[in-house]
Structure 1
Amino acid sequence: MSTPTATRPPAMPEAEGFEHLIVETPGLRSHVAAIGEGDPVLMLHGFPQHWWQWAQIAPAVAARGHRVYCPDLRGAGWTVADDPRIDRETRLHDVLALMDQLGIERAHVVSHDMGTVTVWQLVYDHPERVRTSVQLAVPPPYLRFDPRVMPGFRHMPAFIWHRPGASLQPIFSPAYLAHPLSEEVMAAHLAPMAVPEVDAAVRPLTRRFVIPEALRMMRGVYRRRRLTVPTLVVFGRKDWPWTEAVLTRACRDPEHRYADRVEFAYVDDAAHYVTDDAPEEVTALVLDWFERAG
């Protein structure tokens, strides 16, 4: 197999206690930050973040008897791909291959933002690989169209038409955060964007991965299927327009019509980047769900 080549990314941000692994699967060299020992947990980051999104959460989860894996997904962080193409299920196949290579038969899965879109595919198509799911800041895919949720997609045009080299710093604006990030934290999240291969992945991730899944959701594809994995959906109460009232209406599941077990939780004083706004609260919800549903 040929060795992937890419511009060398900046140094990784620091996080105490993590091991940094390079896991090779066909066409991909995945960087995986791992911590702890015990039952496996997979944490899939959102956009435009990477493994470091979980730096405050993974150690606390690991301390409760888990081996936590935080991979950089294709097109993000310090993972390098032979082929830059990204299609709707590319990341799903990457995650399955990674689990196989790591010897993970079944895991708890925690995800945020774009990471959750991959988890939709995982829990519906390969439920035997997922023990429980915690999905942050993204509704379940059986959501019914409601005009009030449309502002929740207001950021998409900037990603669809992303220009190479354009800063993604505006996505960390007060519209998506309850508490401003320091310049140092923002720089750590965005560091890999300096790599042309990572920057170039913004458009295909949006156009060929997120939008096709969003259209499937709007067409009701997932309402014709059944979610069998116990799933906790978590939103910050300041994540407009995803209010409790809107989500209750759009994601109603009378008598568990679409899912065996789905619960919603809301974090005060947090917005879309709930792992940055409220890491301790997210950790507590994750551990409680593992215990109650796993």
Structure 2
Amino acid sequence: MTAPTTAWSPPLPDAPGFEHAVVETPGLRTHLASIGEGEPVLMLHGFPEHWWQWHEVAPLVAAGGFRVLCPDLRGAGWTVADDPRIERETRLRDVLALLDALDIERAHVVSHDMGVITAMQLTYDHPDRVRTAVQLSVWPAFITFSPRLAPAFQHLPPFVWHQPGASLRPTFSPRYAARPMSEATVEAHLAQFARPEVDAAVRPLVRRMVLPEAMRMARGVYRRKRLPVPTLVVFGRRDHPTTPELLERLCRNPERHADRFELAYVDNAAHFITDDAPDEVAGLALDWFRRRGSSVGSA
């Protein structure tokens, strides 16, 4: 089904050019924003964001000849679940069901922050469904952990113990965004938390999905696997503590763990890289699609 943004409660943030629909799969009604035509690109949002995270990036990618699909993942945005429980791979199963419902065999996958967890699970366990992957602001799963990465987790305790109605505004502080966000932008990102079920999902998402997956990475589970999907990992140069020097040292000899892997950096961008530098993110994604797995623009 399709509906104007005013038909949703609370109203959807404005984003010209997007179409909005509900895709029904067993136990889930996924709100899907889409734009463009062509090869499918699935964009998986981070936290505490939703489909609107991509409102500047997706039109640029769509203009390159792609159909960009921006779902609200379970526990976020305007998606409705029959069962509020969230486990480590719940969102993975949701995304696979969404691809099946849309009759999409393979897609390019762009992900940020918490969305990267689901994207990584896809690329390692269901590589046949992923054409290429672009991973934003999260280390590759095969990274060698270092104590120098510890400050990257300092934002998690408030989410682990999140109470209903607690403010999430500090998440958008200058510590994580190189370009100050306007009040309207912050409000657009946080609009979803007017829905009690979204607010209630914060703790299980962190406790039962993020932390278990982080422990698997720390234990080297993914270093013992092979990443077959062409994967580009992108960081803002102001996304501390993940400096380029540290990241490249901890990802030394990536060919041991991945078939086709590259790192890229964006100047004047921090963790919320899609807000800080949407043009650069779209440009890197389009270049990666065309170099590593797309027929669009090929000779």
Query: TM-score of the superposition, structure 2-length normalised?
Result: 0.95
Cα distance between partner residues in 2 of 1:269 and 1:47? 21
Q: How does 1:142-221 map to 2 (within 5 A)?
A: 142-221=142-221
In structure 2, what residue type is equivalent to 1:260?
D
In structure 1, what residue type is equivalent to 2:69?
Y
SS at match of 1:78: coil
Cα distance between partner residues in 2 of 1:279 and 1:36? 17
Corresponding residue for residue 121 of structure 1:
121
In structure 2, what residue type is equivalent to 1:82?
D
Deviation, 1:9, is 3.6
Deviation, 1:22, is 0.2
Corresponding residue for residue 5 of structure 2:
none
Gaps of 5+ in 2: 1-7, 294-299
In structure 2, what residue type is equivalent to 1:38?
G
Corresponding residue for residue 3 of structure 1:
none
Deviation, 1:250, is 1.4
Corresponding residue for residue 138 of structure 1:
138
Corresponding residue for residue 290 of structure 1:
289
Deviation, 1:58, is 0.6
Answer yes or no: is the 8 Å Cα contact 1:9–1:192 preserved in 2.
no
State percent identity of aligned pairs. Answer: 69
Answer yes or no: is the 8 Å Cα contact 1:43–1:111 preserved in 2.
yes
Cα distance between partner residues in 1 of 2:186 and 2:268? 19
Corresponding residue for residue 56 of structure 2:
56
Corresponding residue for residue 244 of structure 1:
244
Corresponding residue for residue 262 of structure 1:
261
Answer yes or no: is the 8 Å Cα contact 1:72–1:79 preserved in 2.
yes
Cα distance between partner residues in 1 of 2:155 and 2:196? 22
Query: TM-score of the superposition, structure 1-length normalised?
Result: 0.96
- After TM superposition, the runs of 4+ consecutive aligned structure 1 residues lying more than 3 A away are none
In structure 2, what residue type is equivalent to 1:110?
V
Cα distance between partner residues in 1 of 2:78 and 2:251? 35
SS at match of 2:56: coil
Corresponding residue for residue 32 of structure 1:
32
Answer yes or no: is the 8 Å Cα contact 1:31–1:79 preserved in 2.
yes
Deviations 1:10-54 (A, max 9, x none): 100011111101000000000000111110100000000000000
SS at match of 2:191: helix
Cα distance between partner residues in 1 of 2:176 and 2:119? 22
Cα distance between partner residues in 2 of 1:248 and 1:147? 15
Corresponding residue for residue 296 of structure 2:
none
Corresponding residue for residue 5 of structure 1:
none
Cα distance between partner residues in 2 of 1:13 and 1:238? 28
Corresponding residue for residue 225 of structure 1:
225
Answer yes or no: is the 8 Å Cα contact 1:253–1:259 preserved in 2.
no
Cα distance between partner residues in 2 of 1:20 and 1:265? 32
Instruction: Tell me the C-alpha RMSD between the 2 structures.
Output: 0.8
Cα distance between partner residues in 2 of 1:61 and 1:145? 33
In structure 1, what residue type is equivalent to 2:192?
P
In structure 1, what residue type is equivalent to 2:221?
V
Corresponding residue for residue 273 of structure 2:
274
In structure 2, what residue type is equivalent to 1:116?
V
In structure 2, what residue type is equivalent to 1:104?
I
Cα distance between partner residues in 2 of 1:116 and 1:21? 23
Cα distance between partner residues in 1 of 2:14 and 2:185? 11
Deviation, 1:253, is 2.4
Cα distance between partner residues in 1 of 2:195 and 2:268? 33
Deviation, 1:257, is 0.6
Deviation, 1:145, is 1.2
SS at match of 2:256: coil
Cα distance between partner residues in 2 of 1:203 and 1:54? 24
Corresponding residue for residue 72 of structure 2:
72
